[in-house]
Every structure is written in C-alpha cells, then in structure tokens.
Amino acid sequence: MKEMTLSQLAELLGGELTGESDRVVRGMASVESAGPDEVTFLSNVRYERFMKDTRAAAVIVAADYAGAGESLIRCEDPYFAFREAMMAFYGPRRPQFEGVDGRACIDPTATLGEGVRIAPLAVVSAAAVIGAGTVLYPHVYVGPNCRIGRDCTIYPNVTIYNDCVLGDRVRIHAGTSIGQDGYGYATYQGAHHKIPEAGRVILEDDVEIGSCCAIERATLGDTIIGAGTKFADLVAIGHGTTMGTGCLMVSQSGIAGSTRVGDYCVFAAQSGIVGHIRIGDGAQVGAQAGVTNDVAPGVRVLGSPAIDIADAKRSMISLSRLPQMRSAVRKLTREIAAIKRRLGMRDADDEE
C-alpha cells in the first residue's frame, strides 16, 4: 500500500482539491469509518448524511457538490475517481507465487507464453495454449485444445473444458465452469436422450466472470461472451447464447440457450431470460424479472412476465393497494344494494 499527499492524489485523479494539500494519506475507507489518514468518496446521495461527521482526510465528490465537507477533491465522476484511487493505493490483486510449480501437471504438447505463472496442482492438458503473463491458481483445469490469451487470471478450482477460447485479460473467479455440456435432451418413447455438445465457449477480451458461474458450450457453433462483459457470482448462461460488448449480469441471473443479447445490456439480480429470443442493445432487465419475449433496444423491463418498467411499477402499486381497494368495493356494493332497496329495485340475482 502506498502513501501520498492529498495534492498528489488530486493531481492523479484530475480533480480540484480544497483542503490541506500536504496532508499525507495512506488508503481508502467508507465515509462512515474513514480515519484521518484515509480518503473516502461520495457518489450516492444516501450517504451524504455522513459528510458532516466523517473523519476522513478528504472526500472525493462530484464537481458540482454543494454539501458539507471541509477537505474535498472535486471530480467529474467521483465513482470512477474512487476506482482510480483504489488502484493507486492498492493496485490489482497479485499472485504470491512465481513461475511454473513442479507440482502442476503440464502436458508436453501444451504451449506456455513468457511469464506464465502456474500454481501447484493446476492441470494444463494436451495442445492447450496459455498466453504470456497469464496466471493459473491451484486446482485450475484447462482442457485439451483450449486457447487462453495474454495476462489472464484464472482463480482456484476453475474448470475450462476442451476447445474453449479466452481472449486477453480475462479474469475468472473461483469455482466457475466454462464449457460444460448444455442442457440438451431429445425425449423419445419416454426417455431423455442426451444430445452431444459439439460447440465451444468463447470469452472475448476483458471479460470478468464471478465465482460459481456456469457457461455452457454450444450444441453447434459457439457460446460467446462479448468483450468487456462482467458477471457477478452465480450466473448461468445456456448453450448457444451470444452476448454483446460491455454487458453486466448481477448475481443469480440467468439466460437460457440460443438467446441473442446486444451490447451494454444490464441484467439485475435473479432475473431470468427464456431461450431463443433477442435482447436489444442497451436494454435493462430489473431484479427478479422473467423475460419471455424479445426486448427492444433501450427498453427497461420489470416483473414476471416482464413488461415495460413504468407499467410494471404502476401494477405493483395497484397490487399493494388491493386490500384497500377490495374493502372499498365491498362498501360500495353494500351502499348500492341499500339504495336499490330504498327505490324498490330488485337485483337480477334476487329475481332468479
């Protein structure tokens, strides 16, 4: 961990400092817990209430921030500035081992690039290619004929099945499976017969996959995760699905097979997408939404079945008021019946 003055940090972030320029800081912390030698940030108005009491040496804020705080670093995008500060103080996680450990199992026909690090008990199979600077942690399995690009990081217990392709700077977290068989069966005479999966999985450059995710190989062709797409943990992708550039998938979301997803789409927690549909560029799927039809580009959907988010919110508000509405209807029904009795009118039900 590094230390620097506030003026040095502000210069690094491209921000404007108001406060003690020569004050030394040694790290980052939350606005509630930061100490006098730490910097914090404010990018969510919910946390503005802590500003008057924070002990932080300085707070990274938006350029137009007008609230409390004596020592501020004003930046165009405070959340990205926070990211840059974190990189400056802590940097990326680095492996604590060098070279190729003798306890790793490396097939003689595998190709290892310059500076590859492979931990004990990792397996690299026949004809696999590992790009320069890539790191394989313990118990990683790389199947036959896989190609892994430069500067990738594969954390413990990741399984990469045969013939899969990873681009450069791909990061896969512990316990994830890449390229297992898809869920494909032909039911014939009461039995479910497995369909062989002859395709691949391709993860393009700068993809990051969280822990315990599962990405199925295609039956035919490729399952593709586009460049810069990021998964949280516990995400499932069905066989033959293709995702565009820069998509985000939050934990416990999933996409069934043969779905086409555009660029920069967002899938919130526990959302589910049926197979064989299209999700347009920039679409956003809300938490716990169940998408059963195509979603047009730029549309936000919510609910199950998923509908336009504005309509879904109105439906949810109406549903929350259902008990009061039921009581009101019952009251009106009684009042109408009383009026009819006074007028000597008979209900159709009574005549029957």
Say which CATH number the domain at 37 has. 3.40.1390.10
Put residue 127 in one of left, alpha, beta given phi > 0 → left and psi -120 to 50 → alpha.
Answer: left
Residues 6+ apart with CB under 8 A from 313: 302
Domain assignment present for 99:
no
Check whether residue 216 and residue 268 sit in a common domain. Answer: yes
Angle at 301 between CA 47 and CA 254, to 5 degrees: 90
Domain assignment present for 229:
yes
DSSP class of 19: S
DSSP class of 287: T
Give the pLDDT score at 48. Answer: 92
Give the pLDDT score at 350. Answer: 54
Q: Confidence band (pLDDT; 50, 70, 90) for 347?
A: low
DSSP class of 229: -
Check whether residue 15 and residue 130 sit in a common domain. Answer: no
> What's the mean pLDDT in 23-28?
96
- 72: β partners: 18, 59
Domain final residue, candidates 45, 64, 89: 89
Check whether residue 305 and residue 327 sit in a common domain. Answer: no
Assess contact for 254 and 268: CB atoms under 8 A: no
Check whether residue 248 and residue 340 sit in a common domain. Answer: no
Which of 300, 298, 306 has the alpha carbon at shortest distance from 282?
298
What residue numbers bound the domain in which 327 lies? 322-351
Residue 352, pLDDT > 70, answer no
Check whether residue 24 and residue 163 sit in a common domain. Answer: no
Residue 1, pLDDT > 70, answer no
Question: In a 3-state reduction of DSSP, which class is residue 18?
Answer: strand
Domains: count for the chain: 3
Q: Confidence band (pLDDT; 50, 70, 90) for 320?
A: confident
Domain assignment present for 186:
yes
Domain assignment present for 284:
yes
Give the pLDDT score at 351. Answer: 53
Check whether residue 273 and residue 139 sit in a common domain. Answer: yes
Give the pLDDT score at 10. Answer: 96
Before 305, cis peptide (omega within 30)?
yes
Q: What does the alpha-carbon distance between residue 140 and residue 154 come to, in Å, rounded to a whole number?
A: 7
Give the pLDDT score at 284. Answer: 98
> What's the mean pLDDT in 311-338?
89
Q: What does the alpha-carbon distance between residue 209 and residue 171 come to, in Å, rounded to a whole number?
A: 6
Domain final residue, candidates 41, 56, 89: 89
Check whether residue 36 and residue 182 sit in a common domain. Answer: no
Domain assignment present for 96:
no
Return the amino acid letter for 101: D
Check whether residue 116 and residue 234 sit in a common domain. Answer: yes
Domain assignment present for 98:
no
Return the amino acid letter for 104: A
Give the pairing type, strands 191-194 and 171-172. unpaired
State phi, psi for 319 to the nearest 5 degrees: -65, -40
Domain final residue, candidates 89, 119, 151: 89
What share of the chain has pLDDT > 70, as a percent? 98
Check whether residue 84 and residue 36 sit in a common domain. Answer: yes
Give the pLDDT score at 99. Answer: 97
Check whether residue 120 and residue 267 sit in a common domain. Answer: yes
Give the pLDDT score at 139. Answer: 98
Residue 43, pLDDT > 80, answer yes
- 28: β partners: 39
Domain assignment present for 272:
yes
How many residues make up the chain in this entry?
Answer: 352
Q: Which residues are catalytic?
A: 239
Check whether residue 336 and residue 200 sit in a common domain. Answer: no
State phi, psi for 318 to the nearest 5 degrees: -65, -40
What share of the chain has pLDDT > 90, as a percent? 86
Question: In a 3-state reduction of DSSP, which class is residue 306?
Answer: coil
Check whether residue 134 and residue 283 sit in a common domain. Answer: yes
Domain assignment present for 100:
no
Residue 349, pLDDT > 90, answer no
> DSSP per residue over 37-77, as a string?
TEEEE--SGGGGGGTTT---SEEEEETT--SS-SSEEEESS
State phi, psi for 263 to the nearest 5 degrees: -85, 145
